[in-house]
Amino acid sequence: MIHFILGGAKSGKSHYAEMQMTQYVQPWIYLATGRAWDDEMKQKIQHHQERRGLGWVTVEEPIQIANYLKQSKNTPILIDCLTLWLTNLMMDNRDIEQETKQFIDALQSYGGDILIVSNEVGQGIVPADSMSRAFRNYAGILHQQIAQIADQFIFMVAGYPIIMKS
């Protein structure tokens, strides 16, 4: 079952997804896509790790999330977050369309439950530079694809889940 959790920055997405994940048997797999590019990101990663506490197994995979899913044993996995993954792909000059296709294929063939967290970035102003516009477009297309195949789609606003699809 694919659970898609989308929302703006600081909307409570990750915390909500973590709480949902604790309904499964431990250990809980947290596939982290973030890279510690700067001190602020290092602090954010540390805060997330401390908040999760015991029972969690963190797998740091900034690029190869499709390959990780293909090699996993159908256990429940929380992926946090897709917009950081897209950033990593862009920074590494990867083929975004190919990488997202591989990810969607891996999602559809995975036998276990997957909770996917991502940031909604398309509700603000049109970005001024081409790289930011490309990022917004890639994210919007990826989110549409995942929402289409998701069994459950939650939109988070101010810490509250709004059920978009169930």
Annotated catalytic sites, by residue? Answer: 48
Q: How remote is the C-alpha of 42 from its chain's centroid?
A: 18
23, 166 contact by CB (below 8 A)? no
The torsion defined by the Cα of 93, 62, 73 and 51, in degrees rounded to 10, comes to: -160
Show the tokens assigned to 32.
């982290």
Q: Which residue shows structure tokens 């990593």?
A: 88
47, 13 contact by CB (below 8 A)? no
